[in-house]
Structure 1
Amino acid sequence: MVDPSTAPFVEVIGHLALAFGIGALVGLEREQSESGGTFAGSRTFPLIALYGALVAGFFPEFFPLALAVLAVPLTVAYAGKVYYERDIGLTTLVAALLVAVLGAITMHSSRGATVAIVVGGGVTILLSVKDPIHEFADRIEEGERRASAKFILVVLVVLPALPDRSVEALYGLNPRFVWLMVVFVTGLGFVAYVLGRILGLERGIAVTGIVGGFVSSTATTVSMAEKTVQNETLYHVCAFAVVTASIVMFPRALIEIAVVNPELVPSVVLPLGAMTVVGAVAAGLLYWRTTAEETVEPDELDNPFRLRPALLFGIIFAVVLLVSEYANQWLGASGVYATAFFSGLADVDAMTITLSQLAAEGEVTSSVATTGIVIAAIANTAVKAGLAWALGSKRLGKLVTIVLAAVVLSGVVSLGVV
């Protein structure tokens, strides 16, 4: 806690200035919004933030009372807004109370100040994207809403109930960790899905490839391959989408590694980064070769918040985790690499998280984990080329294979450097 009676004067002023800045940031957004500052705007919000900061800094024991006192004039102003403008929206009222809390958090500690900055920025962004969020909500069908609600409910109910320890009956697996990774991987796909729905996939084939890579690169590859069978002249633009979806897998893997085992990131960043760069350059050349007439209508992506695929991934992940651990004990690194290859044919996420976790526990070395992750990524990349050959036109298969072969080669070469 920043104690104004003992902390340096400059430090206290700095925290107060930070609170003022957060309030001003939110206030400017509210001033420019539809409310036009009739309820609270660019002057009121900084004052509310300072109010919260000063009370929390000098009279912390009275902060709950101060927050309740602040709620009184805010409620009166809100009632007047409803009466005169016939607008019952609670957004600005809630934002004002939150800004008071954020102002108080800035006085808590240096970490509290950092949290206040992050949350304040997030609140500002959330407030500023009102129209896109409403448009996205309007586009969601009833079935998607029910599926998402069921998934979230299961997550909230199941996750806290699972034991956070190794269970002998499950061969030493930690049920909560397995389910947490299911939620994490599904959440990555859902974020991309929401982004795609907000932006609209029709805005460009690049968006289709990137979003498709996070949601399901395999589904994107199959879709694009089928389109070249219907119209072979689209093989350039479809190849671009397939390559883009395929290379998104590499930064996605880096995100997963950074969450599960940040210390492994320096080892994998070179091979996965090289594969990403080579793939991005190739995708750029493919896009440059397309013409304005070469456009495709992307298929609708499925909502990743569905229970059955999530449970399937959980089973795959648990099996891969067990097999990898025993393969390492019985066969050493060669067993891990074989498991990585066969697992990568179906799913890269399971192997990426598995090896990251095993490296964090000291079961395998960073070198073995890095090589295994790259092998899994290479195997999955080969599957994309195979799908392009099997389901698409010969031109698509040939073009995708050449590009992805260059991507794979860059990964192999960079492994030698590591």
Structure 2
Amino acid sequence: MVEIVDSLFLRFLVAFGIGALIGLEREQAESGGMFAGSRTFPLFALIGAIVQAFFPGLLAATLLVIAIPLTVAYVAKVLTEGDIGLTTLVAAVLTVLLGAITVSSERGTLVAIIVGGVVTVLLSAKPTIHRIVNRIDERERRASLKFILVVVVVLPLLPDREIDVLYGLNPRFIWLMVGFVTGLSFVAYILSRIVGAKRGIALTGILGGFVSSTATTVSMSERTRENPDIYRIGTFSIVVASIVMFPRALIEVAVVNPTLLPQLLVPLGAMTGIGVLISGVVYWDSQAEPETEADLKNPFRLRPALFFGAVFAVVLLVSQSAHSVFGVSGIYATAFLSGLADVDAITLTLSALEAEGEISASTATTGIVIGAIANTLTKAGLAWLLGTAALGRRVTVALGAVSALGILVVVVL
């Protein structure tokens, strides 16, 4: 009995702390003021906790009762201050729910702590969020919202099973991977827009690699052809964008098949390490040149996303067929050919096949490394084709050393 009381008391304290944290932020914010602050929000959390602990069936009615004075206070705030923002009102309702979740279970307590922290950060980051939004033009915002809407609406409508007509493919899994890869690129794209050239070519090169290392290579190669004197900084941009491809692949594997990550971490980690050293040397050599940025496009576009989905589906089918007909050598051949165009597709494909037990972890690891090496060869080829001879030579030497190390680690392991 004492343990139950102690546990419940502790959860009440946690609920109070979450409410106090949100309340302090609201009182410090310009929109807090007379509406609700450091005293009111802890009370909201305690109300939710008490009702959930002793009268769980009355939680919905409690929210309704609380909503009435909240609405009155909100109307008064609008009339007196002319502020029609709903943030504080929504935060108040959410605080009641967080208080209830805190006492519901141990998992609920953990979730409430995490959500409470995220809410506080989100509320306090209002100026930063507004600055970020203002740096994205209206056309890009509309395109991004349309893409997100398509992903969110389409995903639950797709069947979550293997379809015979589609040769055993799972439509929901494929679309989920499309949203995941595009979302990963979009986060980096937004950061690149925020950072811009003010933070230097190193950071923008890294972010450009997360958005699209191929797009970064094409852009910098074309800029170098237009202005041959920037071949050093162009080399750095291409090399660092190509190196970022390896951590990006590790992130994808960590999401799709975490058990494969430790084995893949050795070769890709080694390639990343040597790549960082080479990038450092190239960056030091390029300091005399003016900074420039890659011309990146918003990855939240429907046509490229559909194209990636088609490529991913084809690579998945080809990999399965090649493995059944040619064995491991078929997987490696598919990885190389697929990697020449896109490393994400083969990374996700082999991670999924290993998770399903269709191929071994060593086969998946080697195949992903082969795909990554093939993609670095593509970058070198683009530098020669679209850039200058000086750019092509330097990119080939840098990425050639990275690829050689990757091959050596795979062979040794």
Corresponding position of 1:223 = 219
Corresponding position of 1:138 = 134
Deviation of residue 293 (structure 1)?
A: 5.2
Structure 2: how far apart are the matches of 1:259 and 1:33? Answer: 37
- 1:260-339 paired onto structure 2 within 5 Å: 260-291=256-287, 294-299=290-295, 301-339=296-334
With structure 2 as the length reference, what TM-score do the two structures score? 0.94
Cα 1:344/1:297, change in 2 over 3 Å? closer
Structure 1: how far apart are the matches of 2:144 and 2:214? Answer: 22
Question: Are positions 1:125 and 2:115 aligned together?
Answer: no
Corresponding position of 2:98 = 102
Deviation of residue 95 (structure 1)?
A: 1.1
Contact 1:133 1:198 in 2 (8 A): no
Deviation of residue 365 (structure 1)?
A: 0.4
Which deviates more, 371-380 or 11-20? 11-20
| Structure 2 runs not aligned, ≥5 long | none
Corresponding position of 1:180 = 176
Deviation of residue 297 (structure 1)?
A: 4.2
Structure 1: how far apart are the matches of 2:193 and 2:34? Answer: 32
Contact 1:23 1:45 in 2 (8 A): yes
Question: Are positions 1:25 and 2:21 aligned together?
Answer: yes
- 1:356-395 paired onto structure 2 within 5 Å: 356-395=351-390
Q: 1:27-54 deviations in whole A, cap 9, x for unaligned?
A: 2322332225432233332232222222
| Structure 2 residue corresponding to 1:154, chosen from 136, 144, 150 | 150
Question: Are positions 1:9 and 2:1 aligned together?
Answer: no
Question: Are positions 1:352 and 2:339 aligned together?
Answer: no
| Structure 1 runs not aligned, ≥5 long | none
Contact 2:197 2:291 in 1 (8 A): no
Corresponding position of 1:86 = 82
- 1:42-57 paired onto structure 2 within 5 Å: 42-57=38-53
Corresponding position of 1:412 = 407
Cα 1:379/1:362, change in 2 over 3 Å? same
Deviation of residue 350 (structure 1)?
A: 0.6
Deviation of residue 221 (structure 1)?
A: 0.9
Cα 1:279/1:66, change in 2 over 3 Å? same
Which deviates more, 22-31 or 107-116? 22-31
Q: What SS does structure 2 have at the residue aligned with 1:107? A: helix
Deviation of residue 331 (structure 1)?
A: 0.6
CA RMSD of aligned residues (A): 2.0
Contact 2:208 2:294 in 1 (8 A): no
Percent identity between matched residues is: 63
Contact 1:202 1:298 in 2 (8 A): no
Structure 2: how far apart are the matches of 1:289 and 1:43? Answer: 58
Aligned length: 413
Q: 1:33-92 deviations in whole A, cap 9, x for unaligned?
A: 222543223333223222222221222111112222222232222222212211111111
Structure 2: how far apart are the matches of 1:20 and 1:199? Answer: 38
Structure 2: how far apart are the matches of 1:209 and 1:297? Answer: 8
Deviation of residue 195 (structure 1)?
A: 2.2
Contact 1:272 1:411 in 2 (8 A): yes
